[in-house]
Amino acid sequence: MLDQPKAIRNAAKAIIVRNNNLLALAKQDSQGRYYLLPGGGQNHGETLKQALLRECLEEIGAEVEIGKLLFVREFIGNTYVHEALDEDEKKWLKNFHSIDFIFACRVSENYIPKNGTSPDGGQQHVEWLSIAKLNEYRIFPSPLKHLLMNQLNGDVYLGDVN
């Protein structure tokens, strides 16, 4: 009997920039603090924009205005399995394949970073990061550092990147 292929997960993510700062979720792992864009998995029957609106309320406690699609990022977890990971992390990565649709978004001018109603697993807090200092942070997907620091000039499809 052949193994059934694993499902590919669609996700919607937000790039929220204000006053040359990027809004990001702070998380922690064995290597220290790292940052992710707000957003997450699309549910069956939900559009990408509906998923992004829901995820932003859950993670950053804010309604967002969704703009244009900036990037499509693929993440094939098996590519990133390495010896430093524990066995649970390795197993999870080997079975994870996601396609992230990354949109330009805005929050209200009076938004103060805070966790939303249902923060992402392991989410510590929400933080504005200076775009000029993005090289000082562990941010995933990592190509965003270069793209944001260079005014988003690049291809829409980022490929399989971590």
Q: Report if residue 24 sits inside a domain.
A: yes
Q: Is the separation of the CB atoms in 131 and 20 below 8 Å? A: yes
Q: Is residue 100 part of a domain?
A: yes
pLDDT surpassing 90 at residue 152: no
In a domain, 2, yes or no: no
Q: What is the pTM of this model?
A: 0.85
Is the model's pLDDT at 137 over the cut of 50? Answer: yes
> What pLDDT shows up at residue 51?
98
* Both structure tokens of 122: 């392991």
pLDDT, mean of residues 116-120: 92
Domain count, the chain: 1
Q: What do you get for the CA distance between the two ends of the chain, in Å? A: 33
Q: What is the pLDDT of residue 63?
A: 96
Of 41-55, 88-102, 111-125, 136-150, least confident by mean pLDDT is: 88-102
Q: Which of 40, 67, 69 is nearest to 155 (CA)?
A: 69
DSSP letter for each residue of 78-127: GGG--TTS-HHHHHHHHT-EEEEEEEEEE--TT------SSPPTT--EEE
> Looking at the domain assignment, is residue 68 inside a domain?
yes
The Cα–Cα gap between 23 and 27 comes to: 13
Asked whether residue 1 is domain-assigned, the answer is no
4 within a domain of the structure (yes/no): no
Q: Check which CATH number belongs to the domain holding 63 and give it.
A: 3.90.79.10
Query: Is 3 among the domain residues?
Result: no
pLDDT value for 2: 46
Domain range for 129: 9-160
- What is the share, in percent, of the chain residues with pLDDT greater than 70? 85
Fill in the amino acid letter for 51.
A
**For the chain, percent of residues with pLDDT exceeding 90:** 59
**Does residue 38 belong to any structural domain of this protein?**
yes
